[in-house]
C-alpha cells in the first residue's frame, strides 16, 4: 500500500501517455498522492485538465512559470516527493537524463533531485534497440535509476518488439516493491561479476566476452531488496552498481583473494566468467616478433573460486550460487557442474553465439537446485536478476 507516499509523476510525450491516466488512478487507489508534471510533448497526447482532474492536484508544466516558482521552486518540487516516476519515459527524456541536461521542467526536476527515480520506457522498437538508447539505459542504471519494462508486444506504430510501456498495474507493483519490505536488510551478499584478464605481457591478455551485465543487474536487484553487497568485478563493460562496495580486480587470482577478504557473507553469487587458465610465462616486457619463431605460452590452471567457497568447512556462506556458461547440453553440464563444485544452486545459460546472451541484454536461464531444473522464459537480464534476488531472499529467511 502507498499510504502517505507522494509520487512526482512525470509524463513525457508518447502514445503511452494515455496509460499514464490509468496509472494515476491506480496509484490513487492505493493511497498515494500524485503530483503530475507534463512535458510539452505529453500535452499533445493528454490534456492538463484530465491529468489534474485524476490526480486531484495542480499540474506542473513550465519551468519559467514565476507563480509556481514563488509557490514551490523546482528544487523543492523535485525533493518534496518520496519517489519520482517517469511514465512513459521517451528515448528523448532518457537521453537528457543520461547527459544531465536541464532544458525544461521535467529534465530540470530530474537533475535537481536527490529522490529515488524510476522510469517506465515507451518507444518504437528500433529506438529502444538503438545503441544510443541502450547506452543511455546503461548509464541511467549505473546512476541508480530503476527501470520498469519495457514489454514486448504490438506497438501503436505497427511494429512488434520491446518498447511497449509496462502496464499501469506492473508499474504500480514496482512502486509498491520499492516502498515494500526489504527482505535482505542486514544480509551481506558477495557477488562476483565480469570477465578476468590474464596477462601475457604488459600489453596483451587473455579475456572472454563477458560484459558483466548479468552480475551487475543481480547486484542491483539484491541492493534494491536491502542487501549489503560486496561486488568483486573484473574489467566489465557496464558501470558497477550504485550502493555496492565495489572491489575491482583483473585476474582470477586477484578475484579469489578479494572474495576471501570479503567473507563472511550470508550468500555468495559467482556470476563472473573466470578464466580457467593463466599464462605462467607472462613476460614483464612486451613480447617482440622474432626470427627465432613464435612465442610459446605456458599455462597453469586458475583456482576455482566457486568450488573453493562451496567446499569451505568453516564459515561457508549459507547459500552459494554458481553460474554455468554452456554452449551445448546445458542442463546436463550444469547439473554435473553443481555436483562437482558443491554449490547449492547453478544458474545455467546457453552462451553459444546464436543466443546473443553473452554481451546482450536478455538471458534465458535454467535454475538448477537440489529439486531439479527449472527453465525460466527468456527475459531481460534485469528481470532475471530480480527473480533470482527474490528467490535468494526466500532462501535466506
Ligand atoms: N568459476 C570460478 N572460478 C573459476 C572458474 C569458474 O569461480 N576458476 C565459477 C564461475 O564464476 C561460475 C562457475 O564457476 O559461477 C562456472 O563457470 P564456468 O566457466 O561455466 O565453468 P568452468 O568451471 O570453467 O567449467 P568448464 O570449463 O567445464 O565449463
Q: Which residue has the cell 531439479?
A: 372
pLDDT-derived band at 13 (thresholds 50, 70, 90) equals: very high
Query: Does residue 190 surpass a pLDDT of 90?
Result: yes
Ligand 1 center–CA 274 separation, angstroms: 6
Number of other CB atoms surrounding residue 352 within 10 Å:
14
Closest C-alpha residue for ligand 1 atom 18: 324
Query: Does residue 70 surpass a pLDDT of 70?
Result: no
Helix axis angle, 17-29 to 168-179, nearest 10° = 50
Q: Which of 59, 40, 57, 56 has its CA nearest to residue 48?
A: 59
* Count of residues in the chain: 397
Query: Does residue 73 surpass a pLDDT of 80?
Result: no
User: Cβ contacts of residue 86 below 8 Å, gap of 6+?
Assistant: 10, 12, 93, 106, 110, 117, 118, 119, 120
pLDDT-derived band at 241 (thresholds 50, 70, 90) equals: confident
Closest C-alpha residue for ligand 1 atom 28: 337
Lowest-confidence range among 109-123, 158-172, 365-379?
158-172
Please tell me the predicted confidence (pLDDT) of residue 65.
Answer: 62
Active site residue 157: yes
Query: Is 252 touching ligand 1 by the criterion CB < 6 Å?
Result: yes
Number of other CB atoms surrounding residue 54 within 10 Å:
19
CA angle 7, 241, 334 (to 5 degrees): 115
**Mean pLDDT throughout 79-100?**
96
Closest C-alpha residue for ligand 1 atom 20: 324
Continuous segment of H or E residues that includes residue 217 = helix 213-224
> How many Cα atoms occupy the beta-carbon half-sphere of 318 within 13 Å?
11
Continuous segment of H or E residues that includes residue 262 = helix 252-262
Please tell me the predicted confidence (pLDDT) of residue 66.
Answer: 46
Dihedrals phi, psi of 136, to nearest 5 degrees: -65, -40
Domains of the chain plus CATH, in order, are: 6-179 (3.40.50.1950), 188-396 (3.40.50.10300)
Angstrom distances, CA of residue 16 to CA of 89, 118, 128, 219, 303: 9, 16, 14, 30, 51
**Mean pLDDT throughout 199-203?**
96
Please tell me the predicted confidence (pLDDT) of residue 383.
Answer: 85
Strand order in the sheet with 345-350: 245-248, 228-233, 188-193, 267-270, 319-326, 345-350, 365-369, 372-375
Please tell me the predicted confidence (pLDDT) of residue 356.
Answer: 83
Please tell me the predicted confidence (pLDDT) of residue 68.
Answer: 58
Number of other CB atoms surrounding residue 353 within 10 Å:
10
Ligand 1 center–CA 340 separation, angstroms: 11
Q: Where are the alpha helices (DSSP H) in 72-158?
A: 74-79, 91-99, 105-112, 125-129, 131-142
- In the predicted model, what is the mean pLDDT of the chain? 92
Query: Is 324 touching ligand 1 by the criterion CB < 6 Å?
Result: yes
Ligand 1 center–CA 303 separation, angstroms: 10
Among the options 1, 53, 132, 157, which is catalytic? 157
Query: Does residue 161 surpass a pLDDT of 90?
Result: no
Please tell me the predicted confidence (pLDDT) of residue 72.
Answer: 62
User: Cβ contacts of residue 47 below 8 Å, gap of 6+?
Assistant: none
User: Which of the listed residues 306, 348, 358, 368 should we mutate to test ligand 1's pocket, taking the one with most ligand atoms within 8 A of CB?
Assistant: 306
Closest C-alpha residue for ligand 1 atom 3: 304
Closest C-alpha residue for ligand 1 atom 24: 276
Ligand 1 center–CA 188 separation, angstroms: 23
Amino acid at each position: 500500500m502507498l499510504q502517505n507516499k507522494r509520487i512526482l509523476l512525470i509524463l513525457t510525450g508518447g502514445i503511452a501517455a494515455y496509460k499514464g491516466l490509468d496509472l494515476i488512478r491506480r496509484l490513487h487507489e492505493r493511497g498515494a498522492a500524485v503530483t503530475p508534471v507534463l512535458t510539452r510533448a505529453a500535452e499533445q497526447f493528454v490534456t492538463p485538465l484530465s491529468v489534474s482532474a485524476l490526480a486531484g492536484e495542480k499540474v506542473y508544466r513550465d519551468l519559467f512559470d514565476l507563480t509556481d516558482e514563488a509557490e514551490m521552486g523546482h528544487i523543492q518540487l523535485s525533493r518534496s516527493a518520496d519517489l519520482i516516476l517517469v511514465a512513459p519515459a521517451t528515448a528523448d527524456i532518457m537521453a537528457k537524463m543520461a547527459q544531465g541536461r536541464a532544458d525544461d521542467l521535467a529534465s530540470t526536476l530530474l537533475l535537481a533531485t536527490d529522490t529515488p527515480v524510476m522510469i517506465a520506457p515507451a518507444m518504437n522498437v528500433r529506438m529502444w534497440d538503438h545503441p544510443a538508447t541502450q547506452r543511455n539505459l546503461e548509464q541511467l542504471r549505473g546512476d541508480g535509476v530503476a527501470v520498469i519494462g519495457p514489454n514486448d508486444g504490438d506497438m501503436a506504430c505497427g511494429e512488434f518488439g520491446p518498447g511497449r510501456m509496462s502496464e499501469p498495474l506492473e508499474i504500480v507493483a514496482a512502486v509498491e516493491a520499492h516502498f515494500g519490505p526489504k527482505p535482505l536488510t542486514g544480509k551481506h551478499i558477495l557477488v562476483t561479476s565480469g570477465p578476468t584478464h590474464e596477462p601475457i605481457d604488459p600489453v596483451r591478455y587473455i579475456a572472454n566476452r563477458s560484459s558483466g551485465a548479468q552480475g551487475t543487474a543481480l547486484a542491483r536487484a539484491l541492493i534494491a531488496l536491502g542487501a549489503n553487497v560486496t561486488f568483486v568485478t573484473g574489467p566489465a563493460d557496464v558501470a558497477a552498481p550504485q550502493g555496492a562496495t565495489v572491489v575491482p580486480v583483473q585476474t582470477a587470482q586477484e578475484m579469489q583473494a578479494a572474495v576471501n577478504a570479503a567473507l563472511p557473507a550470508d550468500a555468495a553469487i559467482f556470476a563472473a566468467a573466470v578464466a580457467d587458465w593463466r599464462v605462467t610465462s607472462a613476460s614483464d616486457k612486451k613480447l617482440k616478433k622474432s626470427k627465432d619463431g613464435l612465442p610459446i605460452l605456458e599455462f597453469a590452471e586458475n583456482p576455482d573460486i566457486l568450488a573453493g567457497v562451496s567446499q569451505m568447512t568453516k564459515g561457508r556462506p549459507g547459500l552459494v550460487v554458481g553460474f554455468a556458461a554452456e554452449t551445448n547440453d546445458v542442463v546436463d553440464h550444469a547439473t554435473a557442474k553443481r555436483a562437482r563444485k558443491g554449490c547449492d544452486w547453478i544458474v545455467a545459460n546457453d552462451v553459444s553465439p546464436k543466443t546473443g546472451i553473452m554481451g546482450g541484454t536478455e538471458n534465458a536461464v535454467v535454475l538448477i537446485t537440489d529439486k531439479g531444473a527449472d527453465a525460466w522464459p527468456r527475459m531481460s537480464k534485469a528481470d532475471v536478476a530480480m527473480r533470482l534476488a527474490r528467490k535468494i531472499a526466500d532462501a535466506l529467511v
